[in-house]
Amino acid sequence: MQTLKQHTMNLAIRFIRLHRSNRTVGAIALICAVFVVFEGIACAIAAEKPNIVVIYADDLGYGDVQCYNPERGKIPTPHIDRLARQGMRFTDGHSSSGVCSPSRYTLLTGRYHWRSRLQSGIVGLWGPPLITADRMTIGSLAKLHGYQTACIGKWHLGWNWPIADADKQWFRTTGYRGKKDLQATDEHRTAWRTAFSQPIPGGPTAVGFDEYFGTDVPNWPPYCFIENDRTLGIPTEYADAKLFEKNQASQQGPALAEWTLEPILPTLGDRAAAFIERAATTPEAFLLYMPLTSPHTPLSVNNAWRGKSGLNLYADFVMETDAVVGQVLQALVESGVADDTLVVFTSDNGCAPYIGAADLEKMGHYPSGPLRGYKSDAWEGGHRVPFIIRWPGVTKPDTRNDQLVHQADLLATFAEILEAELPENAGEDSFSLVPLLKGGDQPVRDSSVSCSSSGVPSLRLGQWKYIAASGSGGWGKGGDQSQPLQLYDLADDLSESNNRAAAEPTRLAEMQASLEQLITNGRSTPGASQANDVKVRRYGVAAKTD
């Protein structure tokens, strides 16, 4: 918008100069002045409806960002830190799950994932769409209000893959399992060509995004880029065996010949920058959802970043990820729209323990910071994540907010910014963050739910946290098996080391009743009760009595 305004002003000045000696100069100048005034009004209106960029890191821990872990964080993240200095850093921000797909569903829809069919785990290989076509997303909301929308990055929410039943045998995989010599046959190639020559419905362009570019899951097939609803090229080979070494790819399957993993992240950065540059030249505002593929495995670090951290390959990848964030932010600056763009940066869950987390801790870097647990866990390290929002002209720079917030809140936040009223069947668990972004410090939500990879829920009510299991519910080890449930006062026990379940039976019962009400109401926001898509699985004591 700034570029358009400047262009209009320059045009007016040129007209006046060219016709200074002409008797019609007054009329021309007046016309141009009026044009400038109206254009200025249009820019003012646009400023109330900012461009929106959501950058979603993959498996980035709470303590992997320097500004969240200044004393026990050893990985430089200058670009993310600068974003935090320019905006608001939330210290109590959460994803919906300790793993990928469910968190993505909730961020996009403003609805807890466990209200859908995904009660545990992630969307599987060749899985169908998790987001139904009639479900509002941040993309479809923005599109309804005249935005141009794009998704660039990792989707992992399912597609309607055009794989015929008779051909499914050629797409099956049980993982790599150390096989060194998988070779595609003519039957494989024929089945792959048949499927990948067709459109792939049900992806991002079916749920509110005008365009898509990315890899569905970088460590799963198909090993190729997808643009809109088509693969870029037809896979003809099994992915090379070398791609499956040392936390790289994890599922064998169809790949483009000579496909490698290192170019994925830089390509996503280039495509995002190009989209911003193109969108900034148009009168419409834009929304870019950029779900990164990093620093999740495959740890496909490019040579320029290998060894930069002095720690391990994962730490190098965090640095490369930070650089891509910087590239996107710089594209906003160079396109003249940085001051007109709201930027969100967060992560889908905590750091994965298998990337060498124990070794990093020995070297003085704690990927979960002060939190207990890692990716997959119901403990805080599984789902309390970096959560930063920069909104120029509205949010005071370099501010910290300790209120409880959730990635589900983005839909309601954007709706309030757009002066839109969400329908009853949209954003059932989404609360607007606008009051906080404008400087308020009263809670916007009383409760939040975040689950482990196995589906075990953790419920927050203010400073109290309930976990419906004895342990992490994920991959984390520990937990007192003599106490089947957990209750923590996070105000003075952020490390979740003092289980108060036995000592606080009344509070425990209240937490359990609150969780049950959240389930049965089909929503946590005010409004008419809504139906969950399936019968929601219960855990803990409720599992025995439901």
CATH of the domain at 106: 3.40.720.10
State residue 478's pLDDT score: 85
Specify whether 19 is located in the same domain as 101. Answer: no
Q: Is residue 50 domain-resident?
A: no
Residue at 334: amino acid letter: E
Specify whether 400 is located in the same domain as 475. Answer: no
Cβ atoms of residues 98 and 129 within 8 Å: no
* Number of separate helices (H) and strands (E) present in the chain: 14, 16
DSSP-derived secondary structure letter, 224: S
Specify whether 491 is located in the same domain as 343. Answer: no
Distance, CA of 373 to CA of 361 (rounded, Å): 13
Distance, CA of 390 to CA of 403 (rounded, Å): 17
Specify whether 374 is located in the same domain as 497. Answer: no
Q: Is residue 345 domain-resident?
A: yes
DSSP of 497-512: -S--TTT-HHHHHHHH
Cβ atoms of residues 322 and 80 within 8 Å: yes
φ/ψ (deg, to 5) at 79? -75, -40
State residue 173's pLDDT score: 80
Distance, CA of 24 to CA of 498 (rounded, Å): 82
Helices (H), 125-204: 138-144, 186-196
Look-up of token digits 């007016």: 12
Specify whether 424 is located in the same domain as 468. Answer: no
List per-block mean pLDDT (blocks of 10 residues) for the chain, which spans 546 residues.
Answer: 41 36 41 41 55 98 98 97 98 98 98 98 97 97 98 98 96 71 92 98 98 96 97 95 82 94 97 98 97 96 97 98 98 98 98 97 98 98 98 98 98 98 98 98 97 98 98 90 93 97 97 98 98 96 56
Q: CB-based contacts of 454: which residues, under 8 Å, 6+ apart?
A: 120, 121, 473, 474
3-state secondary structure of 238: strand
3-state secondary structure of 104: helix
Residue 475 neighbours by CB distance under 10 Å? 19
Q: CB-based contacts of 528: which residues, under 8 Å, 6+ apart?
A: 424
Specify whether 497 is located in the same domain as 539. Answer: yes
Q: Is residue 308 domain-resident?
A: yes
Specify whether 238 is located in the same domain as 227. Answer: no
Predicted TM-score (pTM) of this structure: 0.91
State residue 155's pLDDT score: 98
Specify whether 139 is located in the same domain as 188. Answer: no
State residue 271's pLDDT score: 98
- Long-range contacts of the stretch 278-282 (C-beta < 8 A, 24+): 279/51, 279/148, 279/150, 280/3, 280/335, 280/336, 280/337, 281/3, 281/335, 282/148
Q: Is residue 535 domain-resident?
A: yes
Cβ atoms of residues 393 and 417 within 8 Å: no
Q: Is residue 51 domain-resident?
A: no
State residue 36's pLDDT score: 40
Q: Is residue 404 domain-resident?
A: yes
Cβ atoms of residues 399 and 433 within 8 Å: no
Specify whether 252 is located in the same domain as 336. Answer: no
CB burial string 199-226: b at 16+ within 10 A, e below: ebebbbbbbbbbebbbbbbbbbbbbbbb
State residue 30's pLDDT score: 38
The domain containing residue 78 runs over which residues?
A: 56-166+201-233+260-441
Structurally, the chain folds into a number of domains equal to 4
Torsion of CA 511, 537, 108, 408, to 10 degrees: 0
What tokens does 438 get? 């404008």
Q: Is residue 122 domain-resident?
A: yes
Alpha carbon distances (Å) from 25 to 9, 20, 213: 16, 6, 50
Q: Is residue 346 domain-resident?
A: yes
DSSP-derived secondary structure letter, 347: E
Specify whether 459 is located in the same domain as 397. Answer: no
In angstroms, how far apart are the furthest CA atoms of the chain?
Answer: 94
Specify whether 417 is located in the same domain as 479. Answer: no
CATH number for the domain including 476?
Answer: 3.30.1120
Specify whether 405 is located in the same domain as 270. Answer: yes
